[in-house]
Amino acid sequence: MEIFEQLSPLMETIGFPALIFAVWYIYHQSQVESFKQIIQNNFEILKDLLETNQYHAALLSRIENKIDNNLWCPILKKELVK
């Protein structure tokens, strides 16, 4: 009940809407900081996924090159060497 006794003069001076605005503003600022952290984490994850996708694309390109040159089948390799 002490908090109500401390807030009573404040509400009388500036009014209840101003007090609600102050509470909303503090809450809003904490949410903005939280969202900034979430967005930063998402960008880091996306960066890692991009690197992984580039690595997979390079591997698939090598496999495609080997398939085009018939180097992927051991039987065909032996026949080409003879």
* Distance from the Cα of residue 6 to its chain's centroid: 42
- Ranges of residues in the chain with a pLDDT under 50 are none
Domain count along the chain: 1
User: Rounded to an integer, what distance in angstroms lies between the CA atom of residue 72 and that of residue 11?
Assistant: 80
Which pLDDT value is given to residue 74?
Answer: 67
For residues 50 and 44, is the Cβ–Cβ distance under 8 A? no
Residue 67: per-residue pLDDT: 76
pLDDT in tens, 19-37: 788 888 889 988 999 999 9
pLDDT at 79: 64
Predicted local confidence at residue 23, as pLDDT: 86
- Name the residue range of residue 7's domain: 2-81
